Structure 1
Amino acid sequence: MEPGGVDVAVVGSVNVDLVATVRSLPLPGETVSAVGFGEFPGGKGSNQAIAAARLGRTVAFVGLTGTDPEGRSVRASLLGEGVDVRQVGTDDTAPTGRAIVLVDEAAENSIVVVPGANGRLAPAHIEGAGEVVRRAKVVVAQLEIPVEAVLAAAVRTTGVFVLNAAPARALPPELLERVDVLVVNEVEYEAVTGRPLLVGATGAPEVPAHLSLPCSLVVTLGGRGAIVLHESVLTRVSAPAVSVIDTTGAGDTFIGALADALSRGEDLPAATHWAVHAASISVGALGATTGMPGRAEVLAAIHRSGGKGVPTTPDLDPPRPGRG
């Protein structure tokens, strides 16, 4: 990494999450009463940046908020986690993004995203942050910002470019060709590839080894773990059994932990194993970022599951203040 570079640069969305807990998710036309409510920092980009920072990485965030109090609040939350926010701009024509999240007693959720300023992030903003993106070991992006901004980040990346193709949509070929690691869930897999995830003879999801993608692929399967397709080799990564309170931030924890491991030089299957265990911890608390773990917690979870997947590369960076 060049002098002054960061381990992980995240280009993406930042929101305020309005989270209501309900006994059951409402049906169309139905009104239900909340049994709990909280406001949390959110947005896929912000969540992924926080997840990587809690695991000890140096992280910079590139995004856009409104000029409202919520924008100042989410910026302060990122800064409090040790994330560099110097490339977080403001837009006085749009509010800070919002997400309305409903979580039921079974920990299932429904989410409505109001993009706000996130929808105005443009290639010009990425150009302004070009050195931050160019010098990062790993650059992470998602699709809660315009695809033009994502492509601009991919073009400027010299490290590993990780794309979390969420929310689900087809990807333009010029973007997909610049991706090193594509991370999708089952719904997003179908949107990107145009075909559903196969089910093998054992009932387990399958990805064809000859799948014609120009990049490595990770398919997240929730409590069933993940599938990795790297250099035509398929690897299954199982998840530990855990008690679940809220799955809202699990996917973002996975991405942040994956970026953490990749920036330390782990190969993709090992990085995925690390990310699965980090995500399994995150579901134990309400809110997207509340349960995101530190390094010591992930190591402990891996040891509890048999010790496989302990990082093979030394972590020479000092832990961030207050983190395990």
Structure 2
Amino acid sequence: MGNSAKADAANGARIGRVTVIGSLNMDLVARAPRLPRPGETLAGHAFAQVPGGKGGNQAVAAARLGANVAMIGCVGDDSNGATLRGSLEAEGIDCTALATSASAPTGVALIVVDDASQNAIVIVAGSNAQVTPANIAAHEALLAQADVIVCQLETPLDTVRSALAAGRVLKRTTILNPAPAARKLPPDWFPLIDYLIPNELEAATLSGVMIETPDDARRAAQTLKAKGARNVIVTLGSQGVLALLDGADEAGVHFPSPNVEAVDTTAAGDTFVGGFAAELARGSAVTEAITFGQRAAAIAVTREGAQPSIPHRSEISA
């Protein structure tokens, strides 16, 4: 149990359970004045090596923001894998379903962050590619215990679908953060998703609607909801969030972003997803969970790094 969850337990608050299926990477982060052009070499001014991966980031976010969390994933039998496992365990995350590959190295992400806080990322999957549907079947108990199941697209697609399908059979709330979205999702995925949470680029890829404004995001969300997703929440960075919710206004609801000065946006989306999942698992209303996730993400972007930037529940104002 993470520190935030322990504090909630001591105060008698309800603690939700979140199971995350996803990637674990060691992030190699270079800061430079701007992002390099093709063929260009730039002089950077800082470097850091920190735990990351969308699955790991979202698990840490959910744990710090108040949930009991279990992680289903795979690391390599190397120093990076040992570090990533240790960092999750230090957050109180259940790692009994975190496998160790004897044949593939731990995944890595090469990240460049510019002085405007924008980033470019290259991911080498490594052991993340060895998270299989068999892993999902072997750990069905962790899915059954969860209030919320969270997936992304940095592990094999058949594994992600297996997890979403298992969540549907078990009648658990499912979240898919479709990142990275290099292509459209298969049609039979959408009915398995309770909350589809893409950013503007991912929503554009999945819907075919180019997004520059909240109105564009609304049209994209309507397209994706028509495909069968129960709820669609499009994150728009500094423009906030556009949510098209089940049973609500078909025009959707726009949630403006808190006004902060961004330093590094690397884990902003992951912090939002983890915070949203944690709050939803506690039994909060969807709109409250969205606002909570936004507050957490707003703090994260004021700090450098992926997991180091993720706040604890005690830092979120009431």
Match of residue 262, structure 1, among 280, 286, 289 = 280
Question: Does 43-52 or 116-125 show the bigger shift?
Answer: 116-125
Number of aligned residue pairs: 293
Percent identity, aligned pairs only, is 40
Q: Secondary structure at the match of 1:107?
A: coil
**Does residue 207 in structure 1 map to residue 218 in structure 2?**
yes
Partner of 1:285: 303
TM superposition shift of 1:139: 0.3
Residue 185 of structure 1 aligns to which amino acid in structure 2?
Answer: N
Structure 1: how far apart are the matches of 2:258 and 2:92? 29
Partner of 1:250: 268
Report if the CA contact (8 A) 1:103-1:246 is conserved: yes
Residue 207 of structure 1 aligns to which amino acid in structure 2?
Answer: R
TM alignment of 1:197-236, pairs within 5 A: 197=211, 199=213, 204-208=215-219, 210-211=222-223, 212-214=226-228, 215-231=230-246, 232-233=248-249, 234-236=252-254
Partner of 2:91: 81
CA RMSD of aligned residues (A): 1.6
**Does residue 175 in structure 1 map to residue 154 in structure 2?**
no
After TM superposition, the score normalised by the length of structure 2 is 0.88
Match of residue 103, structure 2, among 90, 93, 100 = 93
Change (3 A) 1:113 1:88: same
Report if the CA contact (8 A) 1:198-1:207 is conserved: no
TM alignment of 1:50-129, pairs within 5 A: 50-129=60-139
Structure 2: how far apart are the matches of 1:261 and 1:32? 41
Structure 1: how far apart are the matches of 2:27 and 2:179? 17
Partner of 1:303: none
Structure 2: how far apart are the matches of 1:245 and 1:115? 27
Unpaired runs of 5+ in structure 1? 300-309, 311-324
**Does residue 190 in structure 1 map to residue 204 in structure 2?**
yes
Change (3 A) 1:149 1:238: same
Report if the CA contact (8 A) 1:143-1:166 is conserved: yes
Residue 16 of structure 1 aligns to which amino acid in structure 2?
Answer: M
After TM superposition, the score normalised by the length of structure 1 is 0.87
The runs of 4+ residues in structure 1 deviating greater than 2 Å are 194-200, 208-211
TM superposition shift of 1:213: 3.2
Match of residue 274, structure 1, among 271, 292, 299 = 292
Change (3 A) 1:122 1:241: same
Q: Secondary structure at the match of 1:228?
A: strand
